[in-house]
Copies of this chain bind each other. A is one copy, B any other.
């Protein structure tokens, strides 16, 4: 039986591009990251695809909060997607005539230098998303364009005026594949985990990292996130090489009963391999 994938909608977003890259045959959009998580927990879909980290904007907090708060969910895969902004307009629009450019304020900001150089006289207008800006531009009384993902150009009847218009070329978003279990070992895996300490114990993090460092386990990422109680109280998030069912990762995790308050392995899964 074919699996069903849920992803963060609407259609036409970078999340749909990531879902199609993972599985071209199946996918349902959900309105929020939390709704994708609920659909996986309820069994409505087999797997969910949600953004977890962007190379310019950092971690995607609602995804981290979903994984930390919902113990039934595990990360079972990752997908790295290069973010490329396209300039779209109604068919036949003359680029020189464009008076208004619509997009989400974050996308407009990511294309600031391009817009100043190529469309200095065009007014920038905010839209609620990088897909809704296409219809906003259609409804404009003056010639207009929209900054959107490539996928939006396949869903709407538009001309592609330009592509790759973001100021920083290397803008990559990492997506997590979530499910009710993590992945079996493949030999090229990573493990994501979250942990907290009893308050204000100096050296606690050092004692945790010792278990990984002394076993020569490579660390890909570490991040302390403020908890909701107050800006100064933190939960730690860490990605390391290896699978939780295999040595040396298995040994490091079992050595961690002290001094950790809470340790949750968010999942072990194959590392993203763009050649695969």
Contacts and interface: CB of A to CB of B under 8 A. Distances in A.
A144 to B, nearest CB: 15
A209 B124 CA distance: 46
Contacts of A223: 222-224
Interface string A26-70: 000000000000000000000000000101111101000000000
B127 A126 contact: yes
Interface in A128-150: 128-129
A105 interface: yes
B213 A203 contact: yes
A202 interface: yes
A128 B108 contact: yes
A97 interface: no
Contacts of A212: 202-203, 206
B221 A224 contact: yes
A170 B224 contact: no
Nearest to A202: B216
Interface stretch (A12-20, A84-92, A230-238): A230-238
A263 interface: no
A231 B61 contact: no
A231 B53 contact: yes
A262 interface: no
Contact of A217 (B202, B219, B221): B202
A206 B202 contact: no
B58 A172 contact: no
26 contacts: A53-B226, A55-B228, A55-B230, A55-B231, A56-B61, A104-B105, A105-B126, A105-B129, A124-B128, A126-B128, A168-B228, A170-B229, A202-B212, A202-B213, A202-B216, A202-B217, A203-B214, A205-B209, A206-B206, A206-B212, A206-B213, A210-B210, A222-B222, A222-B223, A222-B236, A223-B224
Interface of A: 53, 55-59, 61, 80, 104-105, 108, 124-129, 168, 170, 172, 174, 200, 202-207, 209-210, 212-214, 216-226, 228-232, 234, 236
10 nearest A-B pairs in the assembled complex, by CB-CB distance: A206-B213, A203-B213, A126-B126, A206-B209, A202-B216, A172-B231, A55-B226, A55-B231, A202-B218, A126-B128
